[in-house]
Structure 1
Amino acid sequence: MSDLLHSALHSTSHSHLAMSPTSGAETPAVPYSRPTTPGSASFPIQIGFVGLGAMGGMMAKNLANYRAAHISGALPILVWNRSPAKGESLVAEVGQNKVRVAKTLEQLATECDVIFSNLANDDVVKSCYLKFVEALKHTPPARSKIFVEMSTIYPSLAGELDTLITSVPHCRLITSPVFGVPTVAAAAQLVIVMSGDYRTKKEIAYILVPAVGRKVIDLGGNLEKAPTFKLIGNSMILGTLEILAEAYTLAEKSGIASEEVHGLVKDLFPAPSIIRYSERMSRDQFDGSTGFSVDGGIKDASHIRRLTAVHNAPMPNIDVAHQHMITARAIHNGMVQAGSETVDVLDWSGMVAGTRVAAGLAPFDSSNNHGVVQED
């Protein structure tokens, strides 16, 4: 790995410290020493970003703004999205001095020194990497090139991507999924997980923190560990969603107001993510364009279930949640086709529709659900 990226990263002087929740002491948000090569880089780093969805768009925007403000001589970030309009919209928002749009994936792969990707599913991820490699074999890189896979993928895909990328000289790959919803991404407060080559992780950590996230968790050298950890984390979130959905449904059936349940959630489980999803269920706010889509939730649940089968570690709660999301999606799709649904993208908290219909209630409008309460 070339030292050239080290010297470019050395130009940032911001503290990377976080408060320890247990001791109150300051602890490193980045678990690596800062790159030590002194002086300025002999060339400015060209960063690329592939995938400008709800999460990727926020990360690319924050990265572009931060580098323009803090990195001397920073080049505009080169972005690519399947729908060019998102890239053009980002340029219009932040300016041509911060972002420019690649015409093709191949252009981004050949021109950039660091390429981040945050994509919808495994098939899309692999198809992009195949195009990267095809372009780089046609135009071999003369210096180090780092690929950072930030999508939520099944762990074994990481090995396939590594085989593809390392078939090209000077190319490295790390896996680096993130925890957080779009509002968290917008605030640059994501938790970033990394696995892969140590030195490469160090390079990338100082690009992403604090520009995109608030801390890095290092899972070692095995590229499959970060994607596995991401699925484990998502299993906790999804399992919590299932419990909330069942509790809200029981409350509706027994005549207890959703506001009371949400108040109890805030008292008993004062975690921002739990409160956020509880509020969505209590108010029937299932717009996935500002959250996480049910399609993404079903994909993640499928990966988690596959992982539990491989390791003989059952998660029955995830099995049930998976079915409830499929039920919710089927109902939502039917309503969209009938023209009776105003939400284009269903948030995964809409899985409560699955528990509601199983209990004989209306799926997405709790105002139509009136529980029958026995008199004392």
Structure 2
Amino acid sequence: MSEPTTIGFIGTGIMGGPMAANLAKAGHQMRVWNRTPDKAHALTSLGIEVSETFQQAAEQADVVVVMLSSGPVCDEVILGPNGLLAAMKPHSTLVVMSSIPVETAQQQAKAAAERGIGYLDAPVSGGEKGAQAGNLAIMVGGEVATFERTSTLLQVMGNPVHVGPAGTGQLAKLANQLIVANTIATVSEAVLLAERGGADPAKVREALLGGFADSTVLRAHAPRMIANDFAPGGPAKWQLKDTQTAIALAKELSLDLPVTSLVNSLFTDLVAHGDGELDHSALIRELRRRNEMPLD
């Protein structure tokens, strides 16, 4: 299967919608399903067929792509007597692009192998803009042969890199999320320091670009922090999910991650204060609360 022609896409939300759109624009025959049907029907202008059930989206597909919110939700849809694996045809491939625990990916891979179905865990980074542009970072775990069969498809959505056996894609994503979360916290503190010290934080950001402090977070999120623009690209509640997953795995590996533990506590408080639906760059709001600074 060098170039799949039929794809079932499960989950067409903030990230999944534009990812499915790019696959359709590349000429693939698409059937999609989403828990909220309106988000799926928004894609019909691209010639994408909307299925009433996820089983219908998967049953004739060469490749099924899953972009759902969490490990438990993925397991609910994938496993079980009426799950995706039961609906998929033999020798097809399941690509789980959700961010899920490492052990969840490994268990799903085992269940897929028992049914003669290929499996890749292929979480992504790059947010809504990366999904729209088709330049996501894609971290892929699974068998090399399965990756090679699906690499052309994955390249439509971004830059896929095979990092090892099933589960290691999720491990790479956790490493990514630690860097993102911790950098958001540091950039937030830098913006507050500039404000409290009397500098124009926008000018401070401009001055830092190109130096060692430069980063995607500084470039993309510092302006949002300064403007209090937190429309979600990556909601804070999902960032918290990932930091919690990373800390749980670190504990299993007897690793102490003090910086991530502190940042996780900040995201925990942010979500507890009702800001979980805001973009993860809204972490600065929690730091403002702690410093008794205005939120707007």
Output the TM-score relative to the length of structure 2: 0.92
SS in 1 for 2:119: strand
SS in 1 for 2:198: coil
Report matched runs for 1:1-376 at 5 Å. Answer: 5-6=1-2, 9=3, 45-67=5-27, 74=28, 76-92=29-45, 94=46, 96=47, 99-130=48-79, 134=83, 137=86, 141=89, 143-168=90-115, 170-209=116-155, 211-213=156-158, 215-220=159-164, 222-268=165-211, 269-288=213-232, 291-332=233-274, 345-362=277-294, 364-365=295-296
Using the alignment, how far apart are the partners of 2:265 and 2:203 within structure 1? 27
Larger radius of gyration: 1
Q: Which runs of 5+ in 1 are unaligned?
A: 10-43, 68-73, 334-343, 366-376
SS in 2 for 1:307: helix
Tell me by how many angstroms 1:163 deviates. 2.7
Tell me by how many angstroms 1:274 deviates. 2.8
Output the TM-score relative to the length of structure 1: 0.74
SS in 1 for 2:93: strand
**Equivalent residues of 1:194, 1:217 under 8 A apart:** yes
Using the alignment, how far apart are the partners of 1:57 and 1:322 within structure 2? 28
User: Match of 1:341?
Assistant: none
The structure-2 alpha-carbon separation of the partners of 1:134 and 1:60, relative to structure 1 and needing over 3 Å to count, comes to closer
State the Cα RMSD in Å. 2.0
**Equivalent residues of 1:148, 1:175 under 8 A apart:** yes
* Deviations 1:323-362, CA, capped at 9 Å, x for gaps: 22222223335xxxxxxxxxx9301111111111111112
Q: Which has the higher helix share?
A: 2
Using the alignment, how far apart are the partners of 1:323 and 1:271 within structure 2? 23
The percentage of counterpart residues that share the same residue type is 24
SS in 1 for 2:26: helix
SS in 2 for 1:239: helix
Tell me by how many angstroms 1:322 deviates. 1.6
Aligned residue identity for 2:278:
L
Using the alignment, how far apart are the partners of 1:165 and 1:325 within structure 2? 34
Moved over 3 A (4+): 131-137, 269-273
* Deviations 1:294-325, CA, capped at 9 Å, x for gaps: 11111011011112212233222222222222
Using the alignment, how far apart are the partners of 1:293 and 1:121 within structure 2? 13
